[in-house]
Structure 1
Amino acid sequence: MNFKTIIARGATPLLAALLLTACAAPAFHQPQVETPAAFKENTVQRAADGSTWTVARAAEAQPRGEWWRAFHDPDLDALVAEATAHNQGLAAAAARVRQARAIAGIAEADRIPQVGVGLGAQRARQSPLEAGLAPGTPVNAGTAYKAQLTASYEVDLFGRVSSNVAAARGDAAAVEATQRSVLLSLQADVAQLYFRLRSLDAEMETVQRTVALREESVRVTSRRFELGDLGEFDLSRAKTELSSARAEAIGLQRQRANAEHALAVLVGAPAALFQAPSRPLDQAFALPAIPAGLPSALLERRPDIASAQKTMEAANARIGVARSAMFPALDITAGAGGVAGTVGEVFKWSSRSWLLGAALGMPLLDGGRNRAGVVRSEAALDEAVANWRQTVLNAFAEVEDNLSGLRVLAGQGAEIDAAVVSARRSAELAQKLYDAGRGSYLELLDAQRNLATVERTAVQLRGERALTTVGLIRALGGGWDAPARSDTAQANGKAQAKA
């Protein structure tokens, strides 16, 4: 064996390995993103007696993702179920998932040979020249009947097929994650609109009490004006306050109607046929304590992050598809059948025909087209990585926003509750002083107006806390369950979870 033969035998497998490595999709490496050890705004939950405890996780037997059941509200449960079944945006997202899965199936089909069958008939007449005869020689027309079984297969020499399959699978997984994100957003939107309606009902209840108080004030003031105890100024002021309170009530009715119509769209019902009963959000309504968990867990729970992750993986696989276009492609074709002048003779052994071929082709001069395709696919991966990182940063910020919102609203709520108590006492004292003739009507109006404002603010804060709680669940990616249990079971669970 000479030196050239040794070099050739050693270089051939090395060259083949280099070609395979060059065109295959690069190994996917998870991009790094700075993940904090804990949420800055996260606070430790405390039991009623002041001891710290952790919220128990849902058991495996409990349904996953039904986070809205933590509010223990049958009306909310029914609305979410109706929206999940009839929302058109969710139906469109499900259709996109089926499309993506079908595209992945099309890519998967390239892994196996493609087999087909063909039947046909052809009648033709050749010219004497085509038949190899002298000019002017008569040539009769002939009919040929054909039956063939064909097969074709692309040998995945340089990973084009496998990379294309990986990209299609990644796209399908990304679309599925997007559907879960649409579902989570739909559920959260339904819950927030529902609590918005209940908050508006509570506001309307507060304003209606103010309207009733103003009507009583106008009635009493009118009577005293007729008796000469008060001047026309006090009566005009009382009527002004009554009209203003009624105008506020009408404005709240418009807001409630708009919210109700928006909720109808979410549940997939015509606005004219949908009606949400009035259920004021009272002070006794208890919000669930939402465990924020660790920031690192957020990367696994948020469906939008999962979608961005799968998009990255698909973009990485498409680099392999683009690289494979620069290298040879091997196609194998085969066919067998029969060709005869009559139908009965097509399937005779003497009429058999067959073919077997292999074609190896690769581009030589393409003006840089394939190289540009590789650069484009690499840039698409860079874009997907940047979008993933941006999605992660937005997720962290949304959790911090809602945690901060709950903390601030809790402090505001405590202060406003104390303000409501003192405002009610002030209104009572002002009414007594006015009735005794020791206080002016302006002082009474001021105390009553202050009470109405504080009570309405308390109701609004209550609604904001409910909306922010739902917003936190949305930011955490859903999937948090608070299974319905009896009071005894809840007490036992808290006792076992106390630190």
Structure 2
Amino acid sequence: MSLYPCRLSQASALVVAIAATLAGCAVGPDYQQPSIEVPASFKQAEGWRIAEPSDALHRGAWWELYGDPVLDGLQQRLQQSNQTLAQAEAQYRQAQALARGARASFFPNLSANFGKTRSGQGAGGSTVRLADGSTVNSASTGGISTSYQSSLGVSWELDLWGKLRRQLEADSASAQASKATLAATKLSQQSQLAQSYLQLRVLDAQKRLLDATVEAYARSLKLTENQYRAGIVTKSDVAQARTQLKSTEAQAIDLKYQRAQLEHAIAVLVGVAPAEFSLAALDSLPSLPEIPAAVPSQLLQRRPDIAAAEREVISANALIGVNKAAYYPDLTLSAAGGYRNDSLSQLLTVPNRYWSIGPEFAMTLFDGGLIRSRVEQAEASYDATVASYRQTVLTGFREVEDYLVQLDVLEEESGVQQEALDSARESLRLINNQYKAGTIDYLNVVTVQTTALSNERNVLTLFGSRLTASVQLIAALGGGWQVAQLAEPEREKSE
């Protein structure tokens, strides 16, 4: 019995043992979450109720806080047909496939092949000397041969220095970042839909107000015309009443354009052409919800854009190890075997078989600093993603502060505006009585009516601004999303 197979087996076992010893080693830095100074509370949150686990924002369906079934239905259509979400979802699936591809690198690569080859040799010749001393040329024609080959091969790159593990860590983190980006995109689209819908309902309320005012002004004009024909008032009163009526009709017409724009925006968000979409007017306004404020530390767990930015940091950190692994040799174990013969019928016979097996080390000895430059690029990219992550966190803090103070100021302003409206209504009641008594002219009535209408519209406009700011605050707080919805990216620690 030959000793060669035994020696080969011992060598292979030694290689596998060395690989197993180094299996826990992964070059490059292990990930550490970048440090961020998080304030204890938001500066503008004074007087706000801090969210408790039992009363946090609705998980996912945060728009239900507004108590509007039409809005609920539109949000469902958005999730099914919005094309921006479809694009983000496809990008997430692409990132998932990339991570699965990185995981596949840990397993041996098995390949099979069967082929037929035809080959030929060109014509040649020789010179022959005859007995009488003369020479002639003798030509010959090359033959054409056919050969068949069937083989099976396997190769396996051992991850001695953790390059494959670092690549899997990077791709896994990128997939998680893509999933968080999908959640951020969904939240953004949902927020745009809610804001457009709520503003449309405020315009409906303003249209009802203007329509009612137009009817009241039309009655006033008719009354003034009757009084003019009776000689009680002058013709200027009739002109003022008609001017006021037509001006208010023009304001009502202008709302049609604004409402149509919002309706078109909603149509695109739910994935249909504006010509195929319409929303009927409603007689009621959505309710303004009570929004519990979060503390800044919770924001890091509730905003998908912050989660995506951190996952990008994880990926960039792992890529440093991938590039550092290029300093070390790669070890690949490969084996191949099969049959080769000129006859297909005799191909699968013992004399025609062949095989090969052996390890292969590959290492770059000199590259003019290429590997070093790639490591420095990866380190610079990591520093950039850390800065981006910190900037995303700061932007999140700023947005919450902005919307908190906006809602607080708008609430205070709405209270004062309501007082102004109450006074305007009382003034209008008194002026109408004086006009009916003949103590003042119609110009005074027009002035007070215009003031009252302006205050009515201001109250509705402020309410619409508060609805919009509430949606923006909910989105800034993460919309009920939690980072726990993301699986932890795969990581490897070096020893």
- Deviation of 1:22 after TM superposition, in Å, equals 10
CA change 1:45–1:170 in 2 (3 A) is closer
2:462 aligns with 461
CA change 1:22–1:383 in 2 (3 A) is farther
Residue identity opposite 1:72 in structure 2: G
- Deviation of 1:331 after TM superposition, in Å, equals 2.2
- Deviation of 1:380 after TM superposition, in Å, equals 0.6
- Is 1:103 matched with 2:98? yes
Q: Tell me how far apart the structure 2 counterparts of residues 361 and 238 of structure 1 sit (CA, whole Å).
A: 94
- Deviation of 1:349 after TM superposition, in Å, equals 2.0
Q: Which moves more between the two structures, 87-96 or 344-353?
A: 344-353
1:119 aligns with 114
* DSSP-derived class of the 2:345 partner: helix
Alignment of 1:252-291 (within 5 A): 252-282=255-285, 285-291=286-292
Q: Tell me how far apart the structure 2 counterparts of residues 310 and 110 of structure 1 sit (CA, whole Å).
A: 22
Q: Which runs of 5+ in 1 are unaligned?
A: 1-15, 47-52, 130-134, 482-499
- Give a deviation string over 1:171-221, Cα, whole Å, max 9, x none: 111111000011111211111111111111111111222222222222222
Alignment of 1:80-229 (within 5 A): 80-126=75-121, 140-229=143-232
Q: Which moves more between the two structures, 404-413 or 234-243?
A: 234-243
2:62 aligns with 67
CA change 1:114–1:287 in 2 (3 A) is same
Q: Which moves more between the two structures, 387-396 or 362-371?
A: 362-371
1:488 aligns with none
Q: Work out the number of aligned pairs and report it.
A: 449
Q: Tell me how far apart the structure 1 counterparts of residues 442 and 94 of structure 2 sit (CA, whole Å).
A: 71
- Give a deviation string over 1:34-58, Cα, whole Å, max 9, x none: 1110111114457xxxxxx976625
Query: Structure 2 residue aligned with 1:57, among 13, 35, 54?
Result: 54
2:414 aligns with 413
- Deviation of 1:256 after TM superposition, in Å, equals 0.3
2:298 aligns with 297
Residue identity opposite 1:374 in structure 2: V
1:490 aligns with none
Q: Tell me how far apart the structure 1 counterparts of residues 413 and 281 of structure 2 sit (CA, whole Å).
A: 26
Normalised TM-score (structure 1): 0.85
* DSSP-derived class of the 1:297 partner: helix
- Give a deviation string over 1:122-146, Cα, whole Å, max 9, x none: 12135799xxxxx988753321111
Q: Tell me how far apart the structure 2 counterparts of residues 346 and 439 of structure 1 sit (CA, whole Å).
A: 118
* DSSP-derived class of the 2:375 partner: helix
* DSSP-derived class of the 2:276 partner: coil
1:326/1:370 contact within 8 Å kept: yes
Residue identity opposite 1:398 in structure 2: E
Residue identity opposite 1:33 in structure 2: I
- How large is the RMSD of aligned CA atoms in angstroms? 2.5
1:444 aligns with 445
Residue identity opposite 1:439 in structure 2: I
- Give a deviation string over 1:455-487, Cα, whole Å, max 9, x none: 111111111111111111100001179xxxxxx
- Deviation of 1:68 after TM superposition, in Å, equals 1.3
2:25/2:162 contact within 8 Å kept: no
- Give a deviation string over 1:133-170, Cα, whole Å, max 9, x none: xx988753321111111111212122221111111111
1:317 aligns with 318
- Give a deviation string over 1:206-246, Cα, whole Å, max 9, x none: 12222222222222222222333322322222222122111
* DSSP-derived class of the 2:147 partner: strand
- Give a deviation string over 1:312-339, Cα, whole Å, max 9, x none: 0001111111111222222222111111
CA change 1:56–1:300 in 2 (3 A) is closer
* DSSP-derived class of the 1:338 partner: strand
Q: Tell me how far apart the structure 1 counterparts of residues 290 and 41 of structure 2 sit (CA, whole Å).
A: 17
- Give a deviation string over 1:383-402, Cα, whole Å, max 9, x none: 10111011001101111111
1:37/1:294 contact within 8 Å kept: yes
Residue identity opposite 1:462 in structure 2: F
* DSSP-derived class of the 1:407 partner: helix
Alignment of 1:303-382 (within 5 A): 303-382=304-383
CA change 1:456–1:56 in 2 (3 A) is farther
2:336/2:357 contact within 8 Å kept: yes
2:309/2:389 contact within 8 Å kept: yes
Q: Tell me how far apart the structure 2 counterparts of residues 221 and 138 of structure 1 sit (CA, whole Å).
A: 121
CA change 1:443–1:55 in 2 (3 A) is farther
Residue identity opposite 1:434 in structure 2: Y
Q: Tell me how far apart the structure 2 counterparts of residues 281 and 398 of structure 1 sit (CA, whole Å).
A: 30
- Is 1:239 matched with 2:242? yes
- Give a deviation string over 1:350-401, Cα, whole Å, max 9, x none: 2111111332222222222211111111111111011101100110111111
- Give a deviation string over 1:431-468, Cα, whole Å, max 9, x none: 11001101221211111111101111111111111111
2:26/2:165 contact within 8 Å kept: no
2:51/2:294 contact within 8 Å kept: no
Residue identity opposite 2:233 in structure 1: L
Q: Tell me how far apart the structure 1 counterparts of residues 240 and 426 of structure 2 sit (CA, whole Å).
A: 23
* DSSP-derived class of the 2:115 partner: strand
Q: Which runs of 5+ in 2 are unaligned?
A: 1-18, 125-137, 483-495
2:485 aligns with none
2:29 aligns with 26
CA change 1:397–1:280 in 2 (3 A) is farther
Q: % of aligned pairs identical? A: 38
2:435/2:442 contact within 8 Å kept: yes
2:45 aligns with 42
1:387 aligns with 388
Q: Tell me how far apart the structure 2 counterparts of residues 232 and 373 of structure 1 sit (CA, whole Å).
A: 87
2:48/2:293 contact within 8 Å kept: no
CA change 1:480–1:93 in 2 (3 A) is closer
Residue identity opposite 1:274 in structure 2: F
- Give a deviation string over 1:383-425, Cα, whole Å, max 9, x none: 1011101100110111111111111111112122222222111
Residue identity opposite 1:435 in structure 2: K
